[in-house]
Amino acid sequence: MSRKGFYWPAVAALTAFFTIAMMSIAVADDFSVDNDIQTNGNQNTVNLSAALGGTVTASAQIVVDWQGTKHLMPSTPVTFSVNPTQTTLPSGYTVSSVTSTVPSNWDDTTDSFVAGSASIAFTAPSTAGSYSYAVKWDNSVETCAPFTGGGDCLTGGDAFTINLTVSGSSNTPPTVDAGGPYTGDEGSAISLDGTVTDPNSGDTVTTAWTYAIDSADSGTTCAFASASAVDTTISCTDDGTFTLTLTANDGHNPDVKDAASLTLTNADPVISATSFASSTASCGADNVSLSVAFTDPGSNDTHKADIDWGDGTSSTVDPYTTGTPIPHTYLTAGSHTASVTITDDDGGYDTDSATVWVNYNMTGILQPVNDTGHGALPSIFKHGSTVPVKVEVKDCDGSHPSNLTLKVMWSVNLTSTPPGEGEAASTSAADSGNTMRFSDPIYIFNLASKSVTSDSSSGVKLFVSLMNGTKVMQSTSAQIGFKK
Ligand SMILES: [Ca+2]
Ligand SMILES: [Ca+2]
Ligand SMILES: [Ca+2]
Ligand SMILES: [Ca+2]
């Protein structure tokens, strides 16, 4: 019997490592009772290749050919579906069904029609080798003309064969664990504990850390101590949240990545030194200059300096960089303490203070004691008399402060009367102790010469010291002598 094939020219396409191939399969408009499947000479074998575990896809066009006697009913539906019991593709495969309609003129002039295309997809084995798979369709819906032979008018379908060559080495990708989540402070080295393993002992696995900023101030950067080391450290120039990614490649498989979060907290700035340009200053404009040395682990941070000068005034310098001099004018003499706060742009801060002494305008020791510090000959007093020791002290505005502590001290430095000018013996009563009294506009202390030395022919160096607590802030001196 002459049979026209019910053939299946097919197009097979393989993804991943695919080739394009034509395949066909023939099924029959088959009236025989055994539902034989006719191949009719069309291609029904396709040779494909794939990599280990690659995805294989193909498509097959289904064409129905008349054979012998037409029994399909015109204008009726016909559906072709894969027959799972006769299909040997790897588990998980998919083969789409094809639904069509028999042409209306099937009985008259048409003896071939395209029912449609079926898609095939499956995963190649993970072991290299040659494989052969059968794909079998059945038609499952059809309407036959009245037929006394019984049975389906169109059942069964032709199988075709996929020959698949799988190649490549059986290499397992590395496994990567970035560890974490990680936390710490800006600027600190945060230890990263990654893990990368590869079961293939001959593989050289290369690794790399990268970071991405999720949230941080503009300008923030991070650096790895060694981006290629699995266990390394990272430090960032500001606080924020970051995503760290560890990537591994064994030279055989695509990159394998794992990510971990990094959360960094702001670190406070730390003041290392707060100082005036000089520990003492003179009256006058811009008589002091304060500078603050500080560090901040977050090198991306900016800072401001708030200074309470301690004289009722304050300053803010924003931005402030470490060590920058800040001039100020203290209008009064004496001790001044400036309190400083350094604050970063994320609210961290540190405080410190510094003290400066603005000198009073103090004279040398006044008459009757000659000011030998300025070239005069020593005053010579009769031993046993009282030596009036006087100085004048003015504040920056020329006023005479009355609440200062000035002390008279001495040192016997000569065992004979030095050359000098004889002074009249004072009749004032001697003061006790050595603290001078304010006697507007000067400070005075009547020094009993016998309390200084019992040597009636001697030389003594007098000192007048302006005190700040127990500390001598300003001092002047004069040489005197005693005679019998
Ligand atoms: Ca490997
Ligand atoms: Ca910061
Ligand atoms: Ca900071
Ligand atoms: Ca910042």
Interval between CA 460 and ligand 2 midpoint (Å): 63
Task: Output the pLDDT for position 202.
Answer: 87
List the one residue out of 8, 26, 7, 19 whose CA is nearest residue 118: 8
Interval between CA 240 and ligand 4 midpoint (Å): 9
Shared domain check, 369 and 348: no
Q: Is 66 helix (H, G, I), strand (E, B) or coil?
A: coil
Which residues, chain by chain, have CB under 5 Å from ion ligand 3? 266-267, 296, 298, 301, 344, 348
Give the ligand whose atoms come closest to the C-alpha of residue 217.
Answer: 4
Interval between CA 19 and ligand 2 midpoint (Å): 57
Interval between CA 178 and ligand 1 midpoint (Å): 18
Shared domain check, 374 and 288: no
Task: Output the pLDDT for position 66.
Answer: 61
Give the ligand whose atoms come closest to the C-alpha of residue 269.
Answer: 3
**Beta-bridge mates of residue 160:** 135
Shared domain check, 243 and 281: no
Final residue before a domain boundary, out of 118, 135, 167? 167
> Residues 200, 206, 207, CA angle at the centre, nearest 5°?
120
Interval between CA 152 and ligand 4 midpoint (Å): 80
Interval between CA 463 and ligand 3 midpoint (Å): 51
List the one residue out of 248, 146, 264 whose CA is nearest residue 197: 248
Give the ligand whose atoms come closest to the C-alpha of residue 197.
Answer: 1
Shared domain check, 104 and 25: yes
Rounded to a whole number of angstroms, the distance between the first and last alpha carbons of the chain is 166
Only one residue has tokens 């055994």, namely 34
Shared domain check, 115 and 22: yes
Mean pLDDT score of the chain? 85
Interval between CA 16 and ligand 1 midpoint (Å): 20
Interval between CA 267 and ligand 3 midpoint (Å): 4
Shared domain check, 49 and 133: yes
- Both tokens of residue 261? 């979060």
Final residue before a domain boundary, out of 292, 327, 358? 358
**Helix and strand element counts for the chain (H, E):** 1, 36
Interval between CA 91 and ligand 3 midpoint (Å): 59
Cβ atoms of 14 and 57 within 8 Å: the answer is yes
Output the CA–CA distances (angstroms, integers) from residue 45 to 64, 336, 365, 383, in the order listed: 18, 101, 124, 138
Q: What's the CATH number where 446 sits?
A: 2.60.40.10
Give the ligand whose atoms come closest to the C-alpha of residue 268.
Answer: 3
Query: Rounded CA gap, 28 and 45, in Å?
Result: 18
Q: Write out the DSSP string of 119-156.
A: EEEEEPPSS-EEEEEEEEEEEEE--BPP-TT-S-SS--
Output the CA–CA distances (angstroms, integers) from residue 319 to 182, 238, 301, in the order listed: 32, 17, 10
Cβ neighbourhood burial of 129 (10 Å; 0-12, 13-18, 19+):
exposed
Interval between CA 245 and ligand 1 midpoint (Å): 19
Query: Rounded CA gap, 37 and 165, in Å?
Result: 27
Mind spelling out the 3-state secondary structure of 256-278?
Answer: EEEEEEEEEECCCCEEEEEEECC
Residue 118 maps to a domain: yes
Final residue before a domain boundary, out of 236, 265, 294? 265
- Both tokens of residue 250? 């064994």
Residue 16 maps to a domain: yes
> Structural domain tally of the chain?
4
Interval between CA 405 and ligand 2 midpoint (Å): 48
Task: Please report, in tens digits, the pLDDT of each residue of the chain (484 residues total).
Answer: 223 333 333 333 222 222 223 333 333 333 221 222 333 334 467 788 888 888 888 777 666 666 555 566 778 787 777 878 888 999 999 988 878 888 888 766 666 777 777 788 999 988 889 999 988 766 655 554 443 333 444 444 456 678 899 887 778 899 999 999 999 999 999 999 999 999 888 889 999 999 999 999 999 999 999 999 999 999 999 999 999 999 999 998 899 999 999 999 999 999 999 999 999 999 999 999 999 999 999 999 999 999 999 999 999 999 999 999 999 999 999 999 999 999 999 999 999 999 999 999 999 999 999 999 888 999 999 999 999 999 999 999 999 999 999 999 999 999 999 999 999 988 889 999 999 999 999 999 999 999 999 999 999 999 999 999 999 999 999 999 999 9
Give the ligand whose atoms come closest to the C-alpha of residue 343.
Answer: 3
What is the torsional sign of CA 147, 151, 157, 159? negative
Residue 4 maps to a domain: no
Interval between CA 250 and ligand 2 midpoint (Å): 38
Give the ligand whose atoms come closest to the C-alpha of residue 239.
Answer: 2
Task: Output the pLDDT for position 7.
Answer: 35
- Both tokens of residue 317? 């310098």
Give the ligand whose atoms come closest to the C-alpha of residue 342.
Answer: 3
φ, ψ of residue 273 in degrees (nearest 5): -160, 135
Interval between CA 277 and ligand 3 midpoint (Å): 27
Interval between CA 239 and ligand 2 midpoint (Å): 5
Output the CA–CA distances (angstroms, integers) from residue 141 to 87, 200, 243, 311, in the order listed: 19, 52, 56, 102
- 421 lies in which domain range? 361-483
Interval between CA 227 and ligand 3 midpoint (Å): 25
Shared domain check, 35 and 145: yes
Task: Output the pLDDT for position 69.
Answer: 57
Output the CA–CA distances (angstroms, integers) from residue 19 to 16, 22, 55, 56, 136, in the order listed: 9, 10, 12, 9, 21
Shared domain check, 144 and 55: yes
